[in-house]
Amino acid sequence: MKTLVLGASGQLGQCLKAVASNRNIDTLDFPDESVANILDVEKLKALFAEKKPAYVINCAAYTAVDKAEDDVDLCRLINKQGALNIALLCKEFGAKLVHVSTDFVFEGAIPELLKEDDLAEPISIYGLTKLEGETDIIDNLKEHYIIRTSWLYSEYANNFVKTMLKLGADRDELNIIADQIGSPTYAIDLAGAILDVIASGKTEYGVYHYSNEGSISWFDFAKGIFDISNTQVKVSPIPTSAYPTRASRPKFSVMDKTKIKATFGIEVPYWRDSLIKCIEQLSVLDKA
């Protein structure tokens, strides 16, 4: 089953490549953006015609959450129109789509586990455009798996874990937000879950939630990073109000993962266990 990965150079794309290699899966194709730009319909159509994928994994997205508030048109073009372009081509060529979305589609005002069919009320342009992309996929392609995730990190690209390790090496003290609650997601784990969904061959299409188990604040996350990496830095909790950002974030975005676990038999690791693996891998890479 040929699988086409769009957004292959990003964090999740690189993790998919690593997991596929570890599992000896040779059916994934990771085209360069020069031939797989989700906004260039003609080039994308030519790619579909050449590769004839059975599955398409869309990792491409505009993810600069704060910048999106002032860059609305480009953010919407990528997250909404790009998703629609892919869905229509999947329909034309008979491919199934795995589309990665976000916890930012929720307002996050109530401290209760978020289920797939809970009301989505985004409070940022990023969240709104990702929801619009979801809606366009649902309206135009039956054969879709939309997987919402949160707080993505890995040994690849820029992310919170790598930022904290860098800051911790340069500073003695850091202030980290303690009143935003969510679940970190090791992108390697998410990549594995995506490949498990495809390998299952199941056709229970729809929206699914995936993040690592557990619910913590960014403050807790930072403390865990420094504890596991033996980095000596004082971390102090602060409220969101003490660190204003251009875009609003959900206060509580812990997602219920019952559906994806029950449907595909996926085991979801605890956040700290996965964080240990990531930091160990980063240490190996640093020594290489």
Specify whether the CB–CB gap between 200 and 251 falls below 8 A: no
**Phi, psi values for residue 100, rounded to 5°:** -95, 125
Sign of CA dihedral 207, 15, 245, 275: positive
Catalytic residue among 55, 126, 153, 208: 126
Our answer to whether residue 62 is catalytic in this structure is: no
Helix axes 41-51 and 82-93, enclosed angle (nearest 10): 30
Measured in whole angstroms, the distance separating CA 235 from the mean position of its chain's CA atoms is 26
- Beta carbons within 8 Å of 135's beta carbon, 6+ residues apart: none
CA distance 191 to 66: 26
Token digits of residue 261? 């676990």
Distance CA 221, CA 26 (A): 35
CA distances from 154 to 123, 172, 281 (A): 26, 24, 9
CA pair distance 122, 20, nearest whole angstrom: 33
Q: Which amino acid is at 21?
A: S
Residues with catalytic annotation? 126
